[in-house]
Structure 1
Amino acid sequence: MNKISRLFKGVNLLTVISTLVGIFGLDIAFSNKWPPLVIQETDRFSCELISHPNEGEVWTVVYRNGEKQDPWLKIAATLGSNWTPAERCQEIARRLELYRQDGLTQLTYRSDPNTPRQFVICVKTKVSGDNCPLLVTLRPNTDPYLSLRYMAETLTAGMNSN
């Protein structure tokens, strides 16, 4: 067997092994109901399962500024909906990334007729004008100002740390 033939067989074997590992990883992800993680090079917001000292592993929205990544928003385990924490985390990260691309200018809060006893954190962008698209619904009896302040401080700290 010549060198080229051995190299070709080695590359084929590596391809097969890589494919099997990928399929095995997807099987684990889907069986655990983890959403597919699709992050583009230009994305600043993503979702990761992060270990926190007192809470264990928690799905967390992460803000990436260059080479630095900062955990930003931990996702509550239950919020009374059919969404898993992983799905909720992915959706919030997806919305934030869209709002960032639309020229995110302000995080604020408002009431929401769909959840009359709950406030929502919403986002104003250069594209949205006076509208304030929903980012996340807060738990009942949560102070929207304190929640907004915490979210803004954490995000600002991540943006200014680089």
Structure 2
Amino acid sequence: MKKTDRFSCELRQDTNKGKEVWTVMYDNDKKKQPWLGMVIPMGGGWSPERRCQEIERRLENFREDGLVSLGYRDDPDTPQQQVLCVKTKSSGENCPLLMTLDVGMDGYEAFRATTKALKNEDVFYQSANSGSFGESRVVYLETFLAEEDKLTGK
């Protein structure tokens, strides 16, 4: 039987910020681990909790398409803004929108800040992203995924 709702939101202690931060969590059947922290300013009048819940919902949908990686890109619909995005097995070279960043927010810096939780999972992050640790522009997700999620998508 396929598991639903692998993603959830939790308030977790962020030692760098010295406070609790809403964090998207992923349950891969072995453990529940942090994926994305709501640590950057976000527009649209959304609270960090509401933003976390929306990203959780979107990731659940992308999971059905076969999660491949997290990254960032320019957005032709909003030229002054970059977006964090998710590649899936069914999206091909496209990187569907996960969240739009505030005007003027650097995509690389936002990507690094929000994915810090994954980077703190030392072995997992380094095995998923061999190469230059500090300059990675993408997080490949396969090593983080439950077995059933590695098989989803096209």
Using the size of structure 1 for normalisation, the TM-score is 0.59
- Residue 93 (structure 2) pairs with residue 125 (structure 1): no
User: Higher Cα Rg: structure 1 or 2?
Assistant: 1
Q: Which has the higher helix share?
A: 1
Post-superposition, which runs of at least 4 consecutive aligned residues in structure 1 deviate over 4 A? none
- CA-based RMSD: 3.0
Using the size of structure 2 for normalisation, the TM-score is 0.62
Change (3 A) 1:152 1:44: farther
User: Which residue of the partner structure matches residue 130 of structure 2?
Assistant: none
Matches within 5 A, 1:53-92: 53=15, 54-76=17-39, 78-92=41-55
Q: How many Å separate the matches in 2 of 1:79 and 1:105?
A: 25
- Preserved CA contact (<8 Å) 1:49 1:58: yes
Higher relative contact order (CA 8 A, sep 6+): 2
Matches within 5 A, 1:146-161: 146-148=109-111, 151=115, 154=118, 156-157=124-125, 159=144
Structure 2 runs not aligned, ≥5 long: 126-142, 146-154
Shift of 1:146: 4.7
Matches within 5 A, 1:1-162: 41-53=3-15, 54-76=17-39, 78-148=41-111, 151=115, 154=118, 156-157=124-125, 159=144
Change (3 A) 1:131 1:47: same
Percentage of matched positions with identical amino acids: 50
